Structure 1
Amino acid sequence: MFEMHGKKALVVGVANENSIAWGCAKAFKALGADLAITYLNEKAEQSVRPLAQELGAEIIRPLDVLDTDQLDVLFEEITQRWGQLDTLLHSIAFAPRDDLHGRVIDCSAKGFGLAMDISVHSFLRMIRKAEPLMPKGGTCMTVSFQGSTRVVEHYNMMGPVKAALECAVRYAAAELGPKGISVHALSPGPLMTRAASGIDEFDELLDAAAQHAPTHQLATIEDVGAYAAFLASREAANVTGGVHQIDGGYSIVA
């Protein structure tokens, strides 16, 4: 029923084969989408480029979202090569280690601002550049976590950051809805990704999630990819502004 043939998808945030973004990229490709995949820097390229080539990505470029020139070059290539963009998947987040491991009330203004810039405002910057490439509508997605609405031990300052991201999704969805552009947040439960490895005692959180989820198992990057592919399909064109829980029901358990 769902397909993406002829659609162009930009996937930002692939770090390795365990990345949520990688699960989404695989799902988009399986449904027929053409891909653009980015990597953070030269070190990351060694892991990401082979994965991107495995999926036949037509565009493979570096993207540090703090580098406005790289963002401009990426979207210029998308414009020149494709002339359109149908799907944007933003799966990046960052917090300085010292700020992340301390109390929320103790985090530095500089660290908090950097986390907000990379984790939230970069999504808005990408949407703004994607908008003119979506004259017939499109789908923009980012990745959140339940620490946005509940206190999750050791998640610390990323909780307020993800709360801001989800709020940004709602406002962007309201602003772009008349143009047929939907905006979503994917919220899987705990997953062992490179970003999650920076959170203290994350293994314990994984075990607790698996024990308490109604399905008694964690979500996988393939689960997230399948859901993202549905949201990117024409069948989901009238769905927007939501925070989609993909966590085996863990989020409903008290």
Structure 2
Amino acid sequence: MTQMTDLAGKTGLILGIANAESIAYGCAKAFRAAGADLAVTYLNAKAEPHVRPLAEALDSPLILPCDVTDDAQLQAVFDGIRARWGRLDFVLHSIAFAPRQDLHGRLADTSRPGFLKAMDISCHSFIRCARLAEPLMDRGGALMTVTFYGSARVVDGYSVMGPVKAALEASVRYLADDLAPRRIRVHAISPGPIRTRAASGIRAFDRLIEESVADTPDHRLVTIDEVGDVAAFLASPAARAMTGTTEYVDAGLHLTD
């Protein structure tokens, strides 16, 4: 892991760690290595045994349940942060979901409930986080979410998540405009394909990995630690003049056809 930034004295919230291979965990490690104190969430009781040891290794003083479809749980997370620290400097949102039957089918056949659920969990939850974080970021801050280049080009097997991630990236731009007067910066981070539990749900993911390695200029995949280095930079004062961007961390994959 490359030490690039100083986040000493900063506080951050991490949503989306599932296990040690999660993009959110790579980011959390980078934030902590740079000196930040972190609040970490887990989805439910089934997920807690996988997440809690990782959060404890990060010395996280707040390890909280958070199903983003439950407004009360999401509110409780931010209430806990207010009680512990009284403020918040950055949020990393790395949450996405679509029902398997909608993810594996044609977009034209997507069910209304499936589309709405994917949009609610993967996109609108970030907007809700922004609203709850805003009053805690009275000194400014950074909001980051994780996207994928299937938002801008057709990726076989990505289906409904393509339009959902496109909406997420548009939301980043509009939130950046909304929150600029509060000195709150907003970014999307777009990694290349990484073997995570969430990615395993994409149909033909192994082929996507092979094609990505072949298509990137230096023929490799990126790591969660490399994504984390970029996230830590975006959370830092060094990125204070940047907002509303989608930052590609994909070894140049987005440059190819």
- TM-score range (shorter-chain normalised) is over 0.9
| Structure 2: 5+ residue stretches without partners | none
1:72 deviation in Å? 1.3
Q: Which amino acid aligns with 2:195?
A: M
Is 1:227 matched with 2:230? Answer: yes
**Residue 13 of structure 1, aligned match among 4, 13, 16:** 16
Is 1:162 matched with 2:165? Answer: yes
- DSSP 3-state at the match of 1:43: coil
- DSSP 3-state at the match of 2:131: helix
1:193-242 deviation line (CA, Å, top 9, x unaligned): 11110011101101110111012111110010000000000010110000
Q: Which amino acid aligns with 2:100?
A: R
**Residue 242 of structure 1, aligned match among 220, 242, 245:** 245
1:2 deviation in Å? 1.9
1:73 deviation in Å? 1.1
1:99-134 deviation line (CA, Å, top 9, x unaligned): 111100110011000000000000000110000000
| Count of equivalent residues | 254
- Structure 1 CA distance, aligned partners of 2:79 and 2:90? 16
Q: Which runs of 4+ in 1 moved over 4 A?
A: none
- Structure 2 CA distance, aligned partners of 1:96 and 1:63? 19
- Structure 1 CA distance, aligned partners of 2:156 and 2:230? 27
Q: Which amino acid aligns with 2:129?
A: M
- DSSP 3-state at the match of 1:37: strand
- Structure 2 CA distance, aligned partners of 1:178 and 1:2? 25
- Structure 1 CA distance, aligned partners of 2:5 and 2:67? 32
Q: Which amino acid aligns with 2:168?
A: L
Counterpart for residue 110 of structure 1: 113
Counterpart for residue 139 of structure 1: 142
Is 1:28 matched with 2:31? Answer: yes
- Structure 1 CA distance, aligned partners of 2:46 and 2:218? 38
- DSSP 3-state at the match of 2:87: coil
**Residue 216 of structure 1, aligned match among 216, 219, 229:** 219
Is 1:184 matched with 2:177? Answer: no
1:9 deviation in Å? 0.5
Q: Which amino acid aligns with 1:208?
A: E
Counterpart for residue 38 of structure 1: 41
1:73-120 deviation line (CA, Å, top 9, x unaligned): 111110011000001000000000111111001100110000000000
Q: How does 1:28-67 map to 2 (within 5 A)?
A: 28-67=31-70
| Structure 1: 5+ residue stretches without partners | none
Q: Which amino acid aligns with 2:235?
A: A
Q: Which amino acid aligns with 1:102?
A: G
- Structure 1 CA distance, aligned partners of 2:207 and 2:52? 32
Q: Which amino acid aligns with 2:146?
A: V
Provide the alpha-carbon RMSD of the alignment.
0.7
1:120-154 deviation line (CA, Å, top 9, x unaligned): 00000011000000011000000000000000111
TM-score normalized by the length of structure 1 = 0.99
- DSSP 3-state at the match of 2:46: helix
- Structure 1 CA distance, aligned partners of 2:200 and 2:90? 28
Is 1:205 matched with 2:208? Answer: yes
Counterpart for residue 199 of structure 2: 196
Q: Which amino acid aligns with 2:214?
A: Q
